[in-house]
Amino acid sequence: MDEPPELRDNGHWRTAVWALRVGYIGLFVGVAGLIVMFSGFTPWVLAVGVIIWLGTVGVTLTGFLWARHELAEPRPTLWSMRFMLIHDSVHALSSGQRA
């Protein structure tokens, strides 16, 4: 990933990455809620998953936009930054890569 090095130390970027990780959990809970709901049970699990997902969307979007705003010109395109965000959210950096 051709990520700008200053993103690694950006607090807004780290917040967006962690919010997206929590959002994955909310998405998983929502899918499990759909399965439970179609099995004839109450849709509470689905509701919890949707609430988690929607809550993390705002935090992820805010952190993403603030991190992009703080980058020096020329900034990466929105699409490339989206892919960087997804990449960072599924790949944890080892302590050797952070230095």
What would the pLDDT profile of 9-21 be if each residue is shown by its tens digit? 888 989 999 999 9
Q: Which helix (H) or strand (E) is 17 found in, with range?
A: helix 11-38
What would the pLDDT profile of 64-79 be if each residue is shown by its tens digit? 999 988 888 888 888 8
What percentage of the chain has pLDDT greater than the value 90?
41
**Distances from the Cα of 20 to the Cαs of 36, 81, 89, in angstroms?**
24, 14, 7
Domains of the chain by residue range: 7-92
Predicted model pTM: 0.81
Is the link from the previous residue into 5 a cis peptide, with omega within 30 of 0? no
